[in-house]
Amino acid sequence: MVMTDEKAKGLALDDFFAAARSDLPEPSGVFLARVLEDAEAVQAGFAAVPTAPPRAGLFARFADLVGGWPALGGMVTATLAGAWIGFVGVDRIDTISGAYFASAETLGTVNLLPDGDLLALAAE
């Protein structure tokens, strides 16, 4: 008897569940519009989040390291000048520097701290 009652209750409950499944609560258009509005607002925030800039190439990072393009230009000039001096030899440089500074001394004979002065410094 108890089993029969339970079975009857179960069957009745299934009917209620079926009825509820066929009577789905539908959201209002206003609700969906509000949800979409939230979605778009949050999504706009994703776009506003600053993203890491694209990683610079090795050469550009080296240029930044030495002080940017002007410094790099100076380095290139100095390198080329050094290569040129190495190629043409010191004698030619003497000639050029002599012409620039109108001096009798060549680079080969310049003595910035003569021996006598060095001894005098040591004596002090």
Partner 1 sequence: MDMAFDALSDASDEALLVLYGNGDPAAARSLTLRMGPLAFRVAMRMLGDRAEAEDLAQEAMLRLWKIAPEWRQGEAKVSTWLYRVVTNLATDRLRRRRGVGLDDAPEVADGAASAVERMIDADRAAALQLALDQLPARQRQAVILRHLEGLANPEIAAAMEIGVEAVESLTARGKRALAALLEGRREELGYGHD
Residue 28 interacting with partner 1 (CB under 8 A):
yes
Residue 43 interacting with partner 1 (CB under 8 A):
yes
Coil vs helix vs strand at 51: coil
Residue 25 interacting with partner 1 (CB under 8 A):
yes
Question: Rounded to 5 degrees, what are φ and ψ at 98?
Answer: -60, -40
Residue 47 interacting with partner 1 (CB under 8 A):
yes
Coil vs helix vs strand at 62: helix
Residue 64 interacting with partner 1 (CB under 8 A):
no
Region from 31-39, 68-76, 81-89, 93-101 binding partner 1, contact rule CB under 8 A: 31-39
8 A C-beta contact, residue 98 and residue 106: yes
Region from 16-24, 52-60, 70-78, 91-99 binding partner 1, contact rule CB under 8 A: 16-24
Residue 23 interacting with partner 1 (CB under 8 A):
yes
Residue 7 interacting with partner 1 (CB under 8 A):
no
Distance (Å, whole) CA 88 – CA 57: 36
Q: What tokens were used for 54?
A: 């694209």
| Binds partner 1 (CB under 8 A): choice among 2, 3, 19, 119 | 19
Distance of CA 17 to the CA centre of its chain: 59
